[in-house]
Amino acid sequence: MIMKSSTAVAKMTLDGEEVGFTPGETVYEVAERHRREIPTLCYDPRLEPFGGCRLCVVELEGARAPVASCTTKAEPGMVIRTRTDAIDAHRRTLLELVASENRENDVDPLRGYASQELATLLDRYDARTGRFAGSHSGRTRDDDDNPFILRDYDLCISCYRCVRVCAEQQGDYAISIKNRGFATEITTEFSGLLRGSACVFCGQCVQTCPTGALADRKALANAEVPGKIEKTRTICPYCGVGCSVDVMTKGERVVGVQPAMDGPANEGALCVKGQFAFDFVHHHERLVKPWVRGEDGRLREASWDEALDRAAQGFLKAVAEHGRYSVYGIASGRAPHEAAYTMQKFIRMGFGTNQIDNCSRA
Amino acid sequence: MTVPTDKELSEHWRNEPAPLLPLLHAFHDRDGYLSDEAIDHVSQALKIPIAELYGTVTFYHHLSRREPGSHAPQGVAAPRVCMGPICSLRGGPAILEALKSEGATAMPCAGRCDEPVPVLRGAEVFVGMTPESSQARSSPMPPPNPDGVEECVFAAIREPGRAGIDGYRKTCGYEGLERAVAVSPDDVTEIISESQLAGRGGAGFPTGRKWKAVAEASGEPKTVVCNADEGEPGCFKDRAILDYDPHGLIEGMAIAAYASGATRGFIYLRYEYPETMNILERAIGEAEAAGYLGESILGKDFDFRIYLRRGAGAYICGEEGSLLNSLEGKHPFPRNRPPYPVTHGYENLPTVVNNVETLASVPHILRRGAEWYRGLGQNGHAGTKLISLSGDIRRPGNYEVPIGLPLQTLLHDWAGGPSDGRSIRAVTMAGLSGGFLAGDDLDVTLDEPSIRSVGSMLGAGGIMVFDDSRDMIAVAHAAMEFFAEESCGKCFPCRIGTQRLTERLAGGGQGQGPTDLTEWIDEVTDIGQTMKATSACGLGMAAPLITESLMRCFPRLVAEHVKS
């Protein structure tokens, strides 16, 4: 049975409409629930509200200046206006300013899950005016040649979502904020490469970056593959956690993996394997047919029947010579539940040994 | 003297309150810079992730990451030369050039505008307008008011020996605290509320109301933090109090602690006042020995200790949220408000954050009464305000004025006006944060309502004077450059806005932006309005007052600037 909360529903006024809220909710959360489209760049619902981009400012009656809705808690009796001419003008100016600090603002969507956020807002607020020209911020780390994460900081807008997701979600604290003001950079300890830092290449910084300044190098390698990107929701095949992912394809080709932000097990998180290790799918050395070793010691293609017979013979020989405990089964974490069950049944019943485990436990 | 090991340094500090800054300073003082090994050691000793600590170290401009080099004495950081708005017009650039061989670098206003140009060398400040005349000197004493206009904070500051506890007690020192503990904490707060004392750091929040909020907030221990991070260019008033009346501050903090229920206190002192650090350390020691700090103060059930912490070069740390984050060893970004420090301050517990001047007024008010203090103002305003006056004026210095005094009276009658044959072109208000006043705007009185009516603010009380020989575009450019360099980088409007405004004020072919005057004004106005409306803290809200007031006061200069 669902218990009704005993707290009386608190009320506030949102764009002239009286709406209820749960104490503790922010003005932004209340507004989102009521389908207001408040723009943000530093916001990620999984992270502590930061209040940096100021795009989410709204008018609060009685306040001297607009307030950031992401950091302002809803209070009973508040009168909020999420869109006024003045607020829209400030948002547009802020977006024009942000656009002016970057080398470019339109990036390949393969760069990352959130990579289109800035470009989308520039269109929505008609902010591609080229005003406020001046020097660019950020410095791309061409020297960081790790295979996974492109650090294209020319496109960085200092929202610090990467730094915060690394600390708050992943618990790694691998990256931080160097210098200050317009000279701000995202850095590892002593400005080194990711490889020499505490980074585990989970890729969460890439997927939360709203400009593509951090990009998925594996996916981006497929930028030139023709076709439209399609996303298919599935479960990561690697281990038993069951992270939801969107596999990105162009035609028949897998071009990248993105975490599902609404995945119940992972909420946008992945590990290095689930995030980046998808290129085996189309690898030219991938085994797609059974092979057996011939009399001459060389591998040759075989039928499934022949290959399975050969494997069965090998097992039987080992048991005959060394006893049933000479066999130890390790089920693959990539196998589904039913296959894992069949595997343990096979080892227990087939060989009479309890030496069975699963690689997800390792 | 033996050089302490890494471990000795970290063992000394790791269990002290607010240990990060003093531990970093200990390494910096020992080595003259912070090596990778030192940062690594501190990271492990204080359990701060190494990337985060490295980033935080790069935030503070006095923490050098470079070895001083062979020319410098062992363990002494390279000299820093003040290039603030006043010093850069009084020999600062030449001194910096002359000291280049020692690895000297420029620093923003170091709070010695009444006696330029300060050069920071390790724990000493040298002053002088040429490299040859530069020598270590105590800071100037505030000049007395003309015609005996009554003072509060400075009333006894010129008494000989006032900085020591014996001299302080001879001049009624600690009588305010004695009176305070004789009544209830609520009564003390009531007296302060009646006096109408308000935050003298510039925010103007009623002091009594702040103390009451902390007293009523749940959570312990409670803390009193004295904001002595006097970083506003053109402000040096707190320096005078701290150098010549340190017990006045300590007494004020003890009274604030008694009223609010706090048991621990911090003084967050700006890095640029090294001698002041020693003066305060000695004074705290004296007060502890005499029983004005510590346990069972004056025989009452009242414990209070003060810890002295030194900043490391970041203007934003004068903003209270940044200051608290800095004390806690975090990245010194401002905090989102609400919640306010009165409920979620140091270590997220109830905290009074007051400016030096505010706290130093308190003992006088306790001793002489709320009515006396209120009566010190003029034209219906309560109390006094310290004004740091500097620049093109005959008698620069700290003046304690009745709130409501006409600005022109201060400039001409008190401070002697500009030098012969010169006239005042403009003055800044609130240090730099209030922008410029010129022409008829100079007829304001020194109180917030009057100054706000012309689009500026009194703020912390720094006033810099520029006469008719000065290039106001260049002054405005340097001011905006200061804000851009000190912008913390947290919020977009300030981080990008200060940069774009600096680029639009730059001269000598360095400028960027429209060359059409209307477009230039549109851009600068739009940036300024969005900064004022949406910035996360006072820095971003105040910086555009520079361009706003420049366009209002000097439209012709602006037009010429844009054309060129």
ipTM attached to this prediction: 0.96
B271: its two tokens: 């890095």
Give the tens place of pLDDT for each residue, A21-57: 999 999 999 999 999 999 999 999 999 999 999 999 9
- Cα of first residue to Cα of last residue in chain B, in angstroms, is 60
Interface contact flag, B492 A93, Cβ < 8 Å: no
d(CA B255, CA B174): 10
The answer to whether the beta carbons of residues B246 and B205 sit under 8 Å apart is: no
User: Rounded CA gap, A225 and A162, in Å?
Assistant: 28
In angstroms, the CA B188 to CA B134 distance is 46
Question: Would you say A176 and B54 are in contact if contact means Cβ atoms under 8 Å apart?
Answer: yes
- Cα of B40 to nearest chain A Cα, Å: 9
Secondary element (H or E) of residue B226 = strand B222-228
In the beta sheet, which residues pair with residue A324? none
Asked if B523's CB is within 8 angstroms of A52's CB, the reply is no
Q: Which residues pair with B399 in a beta bridge?
A: B387
Partner-chain contact A93 B498, CB within 8 Å: no
Chain A CB contacts of B50 under 8 Å are: 173, 189, 198
Edge-to-edge strands, sheet with B351-355:
B305-310, B262-269, B222-228, B351-355
How confident is the model over B279-307, as pLDDT tens digits?
Answer: 999 999 999 999 999 999 999 999 999 99
Cβ–Cβ gap B512/A133 under 8 Å: yes
Of residues B486, B489, B534, nearest to A66 (C-beta)? B534
CB contact under 8 A, A133 and B488: no
- Residue B40 contacts residue A192 (beta carbons within 8 Å): no
CA of A151, closest CA in chain B: separation in Å?
16
Distance, in Å, from the CA atom of B554 to the CA atom of B442, rounded to the nearest integer, reads 14
Token representation of residue A268: 């946008």
DSSP designation for B543 = T
Give the mean pLDDT of B461-485. Answer: 98
What is the spatial distance between Cα B362 and Cα B360, in angstroms, rounded to a whole number? 5
| Bridge partners, B218 (sequence order) | none
Q: Burial letters for B367-386: b for 16+ Cβ neighbours within 10 Å, e otherwise? A: bbebeebbebbbeebbbbbb
Query: Which of A132, A181, A191 lies closest to B498 in CB terms?
Result: A181
Of A71, A135, A190, the CB nearest to B36: A190
Contacts 24+ apart (CB under 8 A), A308-313: none
Asked if B247 contacts B156 with a C-beta cutoff of 8 angstroms, the reply is no
CB A362 within 8 A of CB A349: no
* Interval B201-227 mean pLDDT: 97
pLDDT for B9: 98
Q: Inter-chain contact A132–B527, Cβ cutoff 8 Å? A: yes
Q: How close, in Å, is residue A194 to chain B by CA atoms?
A: 11
Would you call the peptide bond into B221 cis, given omega within 30 degrees of 0 as the criterion? yes
Q: Report the SS3 class of residue B210.
A: helix
For A245, the token pair is: 């992912």
Average model confidence (pLDDT) across chain B: 96
Nearest Cβ partner for A187 among B55, B527, B530: B55
**Confidence bin at B397 (pLDDT 50/70/90):** very high
Residues from chain A that touch B497, judged by Cβ atoms under 8 A, are 97
Instruction: Please report, as a single letter, which amino acid is at residue B86.
Output: I
Are A187 and B54 in contact by the 8 Å Cβ rule? The answer is yes
d(CA B283, CA B279): 6
Give the nearest chain A residue to B484 (CA atoms): A181
Q: Which amino acid is at A8?
A: A
State the pLDDT at residue A1: 45
Look at the block and give the residue holding tokens 């218990």.
A3
Q: Which amino acid is at B256?
A: A
CB–CB of B530 and A94 under 8 A?
yes
C-alpha to C-alpha distance for B463 and B449, rounded to whole angstroms = 17
For chain B, the 3-state helix, strand and coil shares in percent, each to the nearest 5, are 45, 15, 40
Mean pLDDT value across residues A293-320 = 95
Q: Do A90 and B534 touch (CB under 8 A)?
A: yes
**How far apart (Å, rounded) are the C-alpha atoms in residues A246 and A231?**
5
* Closest chain A residue to the Cα of B482, Cα to Cα: A181
Chain B closest-CA separation from residue A261 CA (Å): 26
> Taking CB atoms and an 8 Å cutoff, what residues of chain B touch A187?
51, 54-55, 58
Return mean pLDDT, chain A.
95
- Give me the pLDDT at residue A240, please: 77
Which residue among A73, A97, A173 sits closest to B497, beta carbon to beta carbon?
Answer: A97
Q: Which of B36, B44, B500 to mutate to test the interface with A (most CBs of A within 10 A)?
A: B500
As its CATH architecture, domain A95-276 has 2-Layer Sandwich (3.30)
Cβ-based contacts of A198 with chain B (< 8 Å):
49-51
Do A97 and B491 lie within an 8 Å CB cutoff?
no
| A158/B500 Cβ within 8 A | no
Specify the pLDDT at position B433.
Answer: 97
Percent of chain B at pLDDT > 90 equals 95
Q: Which long-range contacts (CB under 8 A, 24 or more apart) does A127-130 make?
A: A127/A92, A127/A95, A127/A96, A127/A99, A128/A99, A129/A96, A130/A100
Residues A127/A92, Cβ–Cβ less than 8 Å = yes
How far is CA B426 from each of CA B386, B417, B560, rounded to the nearest angstrom? 20, 12, 18
CA B352/CA B332 separation, integer angstroms: 19
Alpha carbon of A98: minimum distance to chain B alpha carbons (Å): 7
> Does residue A238 carry a pLDDT above 90?
no
Q: Which amino acid is at B459?
A: G
| Location of structure tokens 């600590």 | B53
* Pairwise CA distance, residues A55 & A39, whole Å: 6
CATH number, span A10-83: 3.10.20.740
Subunit contact B492:A90, Cβ cutoff 8 A:
no
Closest approach of A52 to chain B, Cα-based (Å):
4
Residue with tokens 């359990």: B47
Taking the CA of residue B338 and the nearest CA in chain A, the distance in Å comes to 7
Q: How far, in whole angstroms, is CA A55 from its chain's centroid?
A: 23
| Contact criterion met (CB below 8 Å) for B546 and B512 | no
Across residues B325-343, what is the average pLDDT?
97
Binary contact (A179, B493; C-beta < 8 A): no
Q: What amino acid occupies position A46?
A: R
**Angle between the B544-553 and B472-486 helix axes, to the nearest 10 degrees?**
170
Nearest-CB residue to A90 (from B53, B495, B533):
B533
Chain A partners of B532 at a C-beta cutoff of 8 Å? 65
Q: What's the gap in Å between the CA of B206 and the closest CA on chain A? A: 18
Residue B177 falls in which region: left (phi positive, over 0), alpha (psi -120 to 50) or beta: alpha
Quote the Cα angle for B486-A181-B107, to 5°.
35
pLDDT at B218 over 90: yes
Confidence of residue B69 (pLDDT cuts 50, 70, 90): low
**8 Å CB contact of A176 and B51:** yes
The two structure tokens encoding residue B139: 């800071």
Q: Please give the biggest Cα pair distance in chain A.
A: 89
Q: Do B489 and A182 touch (CB under 8 A)?
A: yes
Residue B78 clears pLDDT 90, i.e. is over it = no
pLDDT (tens digit per residue) in A4-16: 554 558 999 999 9
Asked if A53's CB is within 8 angstroms of B491's CB, the reply is: yes
Whether the per-residue pLDDT at B191 is higher than 90: the answer is yes
Q: Which helix (H) or strand (E) holds B363?
A: helix B356-368
Give the model's pLDDT for residue A6.
47
The predicted structure's pLDDT at residue B553:
97
Domains in chain B: ranges and CATH: 80-136 (no CATH), 147-373 (3.40.50.11540), 384-467 (3.10.20.600), 472-563 (1.20.1440.230)
* Location of structure tokens 């946008």: A268
Distance from CA of A350 to the nearest CA of B (A): 52
Residues A145-203: tens digit of each pLDDT? 999 999 999 999 999 999 999 999 999 999 999 999 999 999 999 999 999 999 999 99
Domain ranges of chain A: 10-83, 95-276, 291-361
What is the number of CB-based contacts under 8 A between chain A and chain B? 155
Q: Per DSSP, what are the bridge partners of residue A234? A: A245
Q: How confident is the model at residue B428 (pLDDT cuts 50, 70, 90)?
A: very high
Cβ contact, residue pair B503, A134, below 8 Å: yes
State pLDDT tens for residues A195-229.
999 999 999 999 999 999 999 999 999 999 999 99
**Distance from C-alpha of B362 to C-alpha of B355, rounded to nearest angstrom:** 11
Query: Mean pLDDT throughout A74-100?
Result: 98
How many angstroms away from the CA of A39 is the closest CA of chain B? Answer: 14
Suggest the residue from A132, A190, A199 to mutate for an interface test with chain B (most B CBs closer than 10 A): A132
